[in-house]
Structure 1
Amino acid sequence: MRGKMQKRSDIQYLRALAVLVVIVFHLSERVLPYGFLGVDIFFVISGYVITRSVFLRQDAGAPFSIRSFFARRYLRLMPALFLNIGATLIAALILYPPEDLISVAMSAVYAVFGFSNIWFFTQTDYFAAPLETMPLLHTWSLGVEEQFYLGFAFVSALAFYLTRRVKHLFLYVWAGLSTCSLIFTFAGAGLASSLPIISNLDLNNADAAFRFFMLPARIYQFGLGIIGAYLVLHTSTIRKIPPLTAAVVWSACTVSALLLVLIGPVLLVSADVIALLVSITIAVAICAAEYTKLRIPLAHNLLHWIGDRSYSLYLVHWPIIVFAAFYVYRPFNGLDYAVLTILTFAAGALSHYLAERKRAPAGKPEFISQRKWRSYGVFAGIAILIPASLFIAGNDGLPFRMAEQPPSEYFIYDRAFSEEVTRIGEGPRREQSSFRVISPSGGNIAQRVLVLGDSHANHLRPMGEYFASTYGVEWTTLHYPGCPPIFGTYKIYGTETSGRADSADNCERHTARIETYVREHGAEYDYVILSARWNWMFDHDGFQDVDIRHDALVTAAAPDDHSIEASKQNFIDGLDRTIRAIRDTGARPILFTQPPVSRYPVAYCDQVPGFLFNAQAIQQRCSTGAYGEIMRRGAFVTDIARSGQTRSGAEFESLIATDFLCDETQQRCFYYKEGARLFDDDSHYNVNGSLYLARQWESMDSFPFRSLAR
């Protein structure tokens, strides 16, 4: 006799553990880096449960029906999902700026129809996205699940129809599909990005994102549950296992899966391998306990309660975390974690009560638990959510919600300049250096400045426009993204991973090119400015609970020495070589230090409704309390800049950004000054930021262009 159609405590325990590790992961990725595997556990459970349900219904005399299958699954998932989407849209309407509200509205449309995983795959560099404005990102897993249900229904219906001719065809089909999924996951590197429909999207990390978001790499996880359920219900082997043995197997597999989640980052295997091992152990655990009633002493009621509400908890936890992160705009502290946990469980319990409860308590009227009311809820959700989302997207995100911020007079000046842009170097455009010349109108050039560096140098162009208009300075920028202008060196990207070899090669060529240019044309300039993102090469510690990319400054003589010590020495030696080369041409070198980095993309800090945030709140929001971390991280370059000379005594001038943007008394660094935001991301000056730095430099005694004022 097969198992009964009732909730199994062991599966409820696993659901509880799965949702808990996901919640912890989303609260703090550094605490549980592999907590995302909780979703993989859900997929295995889902495959097992729906297959078990199908066969038990067949045993009870109910043949498999695609219509009945969809009705059960969608009435199970949709009410709570639509309730969550509606609440999320309302919260986003209150909090988010127009551009981000449009994105939420579009993701809501895709989530309603079960395609949010496709939306986020095409819109996102998932591994570097500003998650604070993606409250429906977690619905990608619901998209995968709904697409799986669609495939399961039709594949299973066909398999059942043909089973009369081929015994166990259902098993063979899902074993074959799972095998193909595994092959794609482990041997399909580059396959997704090679498809024209994907390559045309020009996505970063396309292959990794495809394996994460899309169904093909997830089929084997559902398949393990499907195959396990089929074998359990069609063989007598599991039934013969003694209850104690089954309990031991379940416990051992569950503990093993949790250990893999906990210690996964230190194991010398890929995340895909860890995911496979976790999926297998969970499948074995579920199969082993099919005919055994398990009960964990003391924790049974709590885990069963969480397991019952695991779906609602999963739906509500991410929007709560995302909206809280957007509102406070700082790293969470202990009190924040406590409040968020309480809110998550309270909202999850409410969602479960309203949209999931199957029957009302004795003596009380039924609410939305009746099947017909669920059906009404689904149709009402579609009728309300789709028009509302399209209305928001079609009306530019309702910009009237935002308080108007008039431009600050501080950043206004008479603009009188022209600009020419050329590229130097051979090969594809990405291997060429950008060469930009900003000249004062009328061609009356008082002095010439050459700016060398990476994207930080390029973001100083508004400063050049201001100086060209005000002082008659010609401002030339020669830059290559991500490449510091230190002669005889080049940067390695992401030493903790495979790195970006093409970028490193291009940087090496670019550095040699600008050194040649300086030696041949440096005499044509009065000043040469060096500007770059220096600090990541000399400090690899995490920043405000977030891991950062490990970069290294290397030389052609020792390209494989990626240590911080080697990077620092290469900077010291390379800076000496660079400064001496500039001084040999008669130009005066100036070193610009890196501006303070923000934990969050600064573009969102002032884009908030006026009725929630006044000017003082925006000023505080557009700042960071990580003063100590920022100053420590930049200390190496800052100390050299303050010294004003290289190891051989070659002198240079400097402009230290933290002197203007950080306040030692308040222990904060600010990204909002003079009534305007100074950055559009976490570290690059926008127009106002570049002009603010120019005005601060202007106020210094060492400002070199004061006598040229027109």
Structure 2
Amino acid sequence: MNTIADRAPAHPPAGGAAEASRAAGPAADRVTPTRHVAHIDGLRALAVLAVIAYHLDERWLPGGFGGVDIFFAISGYVVSASVGAWNKGGIIAFLPWFYARRMQRIVPALLACLLLTALASKLLVPSAWLSHANETTGLYALFGFSNYYLANHRENYFSPAIDYNPYMHTWSLGVEEQFYLLFPLLFFAWTRGRRGRVVSVVLFAIAFCASVARGWQLGRTDPTASFYLITTRLFELAAGVLLFQLLDWRERRMAGSDRAPWLATAGAWLSAAVVCTGLVVSRPGNFPFPGALLPVLGTLGLLACLHGRSGGVLRTILGSGPAAYVGRLSYSLYLWHWPVFVLFRWTCGLDSIATRIAATALTFMLAMASFRWLEQPLRYSARLRAWPRVAVVALGLASIGSAYWLSMRIIGAPGSLSLSTVTRHADDWYPHAVLASPGAPQCHLQIEVARAGTGSVGIYTPAGCAQPATPPRNIFVLGDSHAAAYLTMLTEHALRSGTTLVMYNNEGCTFASLQPEREQGPCPERADAAIKDMIARGRPGDVVFLAALRLARLSSQYSRLDEAKARESMRGPSATARRAASEDALVAQLAPLARHGLRMIIDAPKPVFRAPAFRCADWFDAGNPVCAPGLEMSRNDLEQYRQPVLDSLQRIAGRVPSLRVWDPLPLLCPGASCSTIRDGKPLFFDGDHLSAHATRLLADDFERVLRDVAAMPAGS
């Protein structure tokens, strides 16, 4: 019987398992003669199709994301089989040989996908909170570390927002590439004979156990990091390596005997059932351990039970022409499917049968083109094979560096090159700090970042500006992202008036929202710290501006929300009781500010809409299903919707004499209807946040309110 290495598979697993060896390749890059193992391609096909189905609609295959776990298990097995018979020299020769193969296999298609995705994103994806992590993820992916970026920035794989990052899928490539950095160091001893094989097995067993322990611990303290990191995923790849070592050792000892074929057949079908069960029943949580056990154990069982056997229905199915072909395409399919799906979501949508068929067809076309004109030619290039292996590695690293340079040029290209109205006219759409006066460049804002409890504070102080006739009042700003939406208006006011602006970064929290369920966890502590900081920094007559979302949203940046549920949450005895309790709590929180002589302004509820304006601003996305509810609302409907909150604010103002309610709605909706767009300019960025243009329209009225509070009698 041939050894496992003699039957190493010819083609790479997709994305999360980009195996770099082809057994049928030219002899110049092989250790021993090998032949193709078709059923492993069939396993790859199952894995990549499961991932694609899950990403099209998770309801179709709820555990389809477990296809990546199948890839990992296959990868550990296959990469071991492809180098297990190395006999060309010591580790100094082995390392460049190993890494050159990885470079030729992985890098060409990956760089092409990342660069074209960067270009398409620049053209079609608007600059927004929803896309803020995209470019950085892509840059990290060039170097195989996007998984660490996603983990460190809490970009949860199962969050709806991740569906709009076209590079999210590269996390598994990062795990693979980091595994390839470790693999030669742990495996090389295997090629040195019996004692070396024992050493290698022990090393991988230690890595397996350490990874399981880390996955168990981190899965309970930081599930997002646990999902992405090599330290918690290593056990899946190590399990594949250990399977290869076990089977190879068994064959050496048993001299090719094949006992109880019926038991192997039964085991194969049982393993297939375990894999399929895992793809159906797996759910987010406790991943990768113990959540990944079913797909990993089932895959290992199939590899073991089908190994070295030429017959059987299951092996025939997995090794059939269509399955093997999809398996050979699996790396390219994995690379391309996610950027295609994400760009569809950003443009025409990915909700209908027609768009899903179109996206899948485009994925296969791009994968076939990548396989035909990039993967195969560069992987088996006779010219590259004639090069020293170190030179091939150097060329791969230089290609990555060049791709990084080109990616930076694409990212840094002027917004005018984009097809997105939002990107081309970012100054109107996206709230931003204006740090210098256009008419007097020497007048600018100096920025200082300080701490207030567990939160941060941004302090904008005018410098080089004309001194106002009367000493300016400081303006303190506290709330949530709706307070940050006023940043353009507030910084422009600071430049004109000489006011120092102090903005509290209340990330993940809100304040004065009258929605107690949104002010839980660390939020009360942050609010108390901000109030104490205002008292420490402020002087009588300074102004506190409180801005927040106080209505239930009708849409998010990525989808429409349940309007009936939103309206129910704003009315009824339960909602009234919650607001009454919130009124009392807010009056108590504001009392120390009032006693210190600070004046307060709170903004009344602004309009909310059923669709996010920034995703519906262009011809190529106006037909997206998320835009179907339209970008207008009846003013009368909105007035009724917000009236309970407006009544609460008026009652609070009656109890806190130094508080004034400022209502921007009449200026935003002067007619019978409210719209996110007026005269071709945006008033709202998404379904409820003001645009930068809108805050400029409100600036004069805001300054009128500032004058009103300045004229309030002392002690008010």
TM-score (norm 1): 0.66
- For 2:128 and 2:602, the matched residues in 1 are separated by 39
Distance change >3 Å, CA 581–CA 443, structure 1 → 2: farther
- For 1:95 and 1:540, the matched residues in 2 are separated by 22
Distance change >3 Å, CA 408–CA 622, structure 1 → 2: farther
Q: Does 1:185 align with 2:195?
A: no
2:510 to 483, 499, 503: 483
Q: What amino acid does structure 1 have at the position aligned with 2:69?
A: D
> Does structure 2 conserve the Cα–Cα contact (< 8 Å) formed by 1:18 and 1:41?
yes
- For 2:225 and 2:121, the matched residues in 1 are separated by 27
Q: Does 1:348 align with 2:363?
A: no
- Equivalent position of 1:612 in the other structure: none
**Worse-matched range after superposition: 592-601 or 303-312:** 592-601
- Equivalent position of 1:360 in the other structure: none
SS at match of 1:483: coil
> Does structure 2 conserve the Cα–Cα contact (< 8 Å) formed by 1:44 and 1:224?
yes
- Equivalent position of 2:483 in the other structure: 457
* Distance apart, 1:282 and its partner CA: 1.9
1:290 to 292, 307, 313: 307
* Distance apart, 1:340 and its partner CA: 0.6
**Worse-matched range after superposition: 331-340 or 635-644:** 635-644
- For 1:471 and 1:248, the matched residues in 2 are separated by 81
After TM superposition, list the pairs within 5 Å mapping 1:479-558 onto structure 2: 480-481=506-507, 482-485=509-512, 491-492=518-519, 501=521, 503-507=522-526, 509=528, 531-535=547-551, 544=559
After TM superposition, list the pairs within 5 Å mapping 1:45-444 onto structure 2: 45-55=74-84, 57=85, 66=94, 67-85=96-114, 87-88=116-117, 91=120, 95=124, 114-117=143-146, 120=149, 124-127=153-156, 135-161=166-192, 163-165=193-195, 168-187=198-217, 211-235=226-250, 240=258, 242-265=260-283, 269=286, 271-292=288-309, 293-296=311-314, 300-328=320-348, 332-357=351-376, 370-372=380-382, 386-387=401-402, 389-390=404-405, 393=408, 397-399=412-414, 402=417, 429-430=453-454, 442=468
* Distance apart, 1:103 and its partner CA: 9.5
> Does structure 2 conserve the Cα–Cα contact (< 8 Å) formed by 1:408 and 1:674?
no
- For 1:332 and 1:599, the matched residues in 2 are separated by 16
Q: What amino acid does structure 1 have at the position aligned with 2:479?
A: G
**Worse-matched range after superposition: 167-176 or 431-440:** 431-440
Distance change >3 Å, CA 669–CA 221, structure 1 → 2: farther
Q: What amino acid does structure 1 have at the position aligned with 2:243?
A: G
- For 2:449 and 2:381, the matched residues in 1 are separated by 66
> Does structure 2 conserve the Cα–Cα contact (< 8 Å) formed by 1:595 and 1:658?
no
Distance change >3 Å, CA 485–CA 71, structure 1 → 2: closer
> Unpaired runs of 5+ in structure 2?
8-34, 419-423, 567-571, 655-660, 712-716
1:688 to 693, 699, 707: 693
- For 2:62 and 2:293, the matched residues in 1 are separated by 16
- For 1:390 and 1:457, the matched residues in 2 are separated by 37
> Does structure 1 conserve the Cα–Cα contact (< 8 Å) formed by 2:452 and 2:529?
no
Q: What amino acid does structure 1 have at the position aligned with 2:198?
A: H
> Does structure 1 conserve the Cα–Cα contact (< 8 Å) formed by 2:243 and 2:304?
yes
**Worse-matched range after superposition: 30-39 or 214-223:** 30-39
- For 2:357 and 2:397, the matched residues in 1 are separated by 35
* Distance apart, 1:48 and its partner CA: 0.9
* Distance apart, 1:225 and its partner CA: 0.6
- Equivalent position of 1:498 in the other structure: none
> Does structure 2 conserve the Cα–Cα contact (< 8 Å) formed by 1:543 and 1:599?
no
Q: What amino acid does structure 2 have at the position aligned with 1:399?
A: P
- For 1:568 and 1:229, the matched residues in 2 are separated by 65
Identity %: 21
* Distance apart, 1:371 and its partner CA: 3.8
Distance change >3 Å, CA 165–CA 692, structure 1 → 2: same
SS at match of 2:647: coil
Q: Deviations over 1:403-447 (max 9, x none)?
A: 7759779x99999999999999xx854358889999997466999
> Does structure 1 conserve the Cα–Cα contact (< 8 Å) formed by 2:446 and 2:460?
yes
CA-based RMSD of the aligned residues comes to 6.1
Distance change >3 Å, CA 663–CA 24, structure 1 → 2: farther
Distance change >3 Å, CA 260–CA 153, structure 1 → 2: same
TM-score (norm 2): 0.66
- For 1:432 and 1:245, the matched residues in 2 are separated by 64
- For 2:474 and 2:197, the matched residues in 1 are separated by 83
- For 1:582 and 1:156, the matched residues in 2 are separated by 65
* Distance apart, 1:9 and its partner CA: 4.1
- For 1:384 and 1:132, the matched residues in 2 are separated by 29
Q: Deviations over 1:563-606 (max 9, x none)?
A: x997774234323665799899999986522664898895xx69
Q: Deviations over 1:3-48 (max 9, x none)?
A: 5524444422321121123223434457656543322221110111
* Distance apart, 1:287 and its partner CA: 1.3
